[in-house]
Amino acid sequence: MNITDIKLPILNLSKKDNFLKNLRFMYHLMVASEDLLKEAIPISKGWLKDYYTSHIEEERGHAKWLYDDLKGDVGDYDLTAAACAGTQYYLIKHVHPIALLGYMSVLECHPMNLEIVSELEKLHGKELCRCLRFHAENDVFHGADLEKILGKVPAELENLVISNAIQTASLIKYGLEG
């Protein structure tokens, strides 16, 4: 299995309720992104540490952007997003920080198509889609960088990264559809 083949579900985002649910869920994942990297950096070494250190700058402030797009209407918390992020903390601290690459691959290797973003902007307003547009435009490059990094994962840790990607995709699917 190629880890970059693991994709998130395609949802009907033309319905405002579905779209807002999706954005709120993604906010609750994004709010942990910087902190997950902060946990992984000090215990990583070599190319992995270098990648996480450079990537943290790419994630800085993104949850705030989405919070602003939603005008603060993000809800209190989302248990599925918490379970997904919490799994990452556990894997980073108690298994190996390389596991975070599986989580990142699901979130960054398949950005939303810009044509879809344009349609969502027409339906729901550009103000609600600013963070979404940024990621659609920029995660193409992040995903390509991540694919190169995934090629460096030692054989004995590949299953950990792949298993984490599968579990991450499953939790996100549940969070978005459930």
Quickly name the fold that domain 13-177 has: Heme Oxygenase; Chain A (1.20.910)
- Where are the domains positioned within the chain? 13-177
Q: How far is CA 175 from CA 55, 70, 82, in A?
A: 25, 18, 10
Query: What pLDDT is stored for residue 7 in this prediction?
Result: 57
DSSP-H helix ranges across 60-129? 62-69, 79-94, 100-108, 114-124
166-178 mean pLDDT: 87
pLDDT digits (tens, 9 = 90+) for 106-128: 888 777 888 889 999 999 999 99
Contact (Cβ atoms closer than 8 angstroms) between residue 131 and residue 22: no
Q: Which residue has the higher pLDDT, 49 or 9?
A: 49
Each residue of 32-90: pLDDT tens digit? 999 999 999 999 999 999 999 999 988 888 899 999 999 999 998 899 999 999 999 99
pLDDT at residue 144 in the model: 77
Token pair recorded at residue 107: 């979130």
**Picking from 33-47, 139-153, 155-169, which range would have the lowest pLDDT averaged per residue?**
139-153
CA dist., res. 55 & res. 53, Å (int) = 6
Q: What is the pLDDT of residue 8?
A: 55
Give the type of residue at 94: H
State the amino acid at position 168 in one-letter form: T
Residue 9 region by backbone torsions, left for phi larger than 0, else alpha for psi between -120 and 50, else beta:
beta
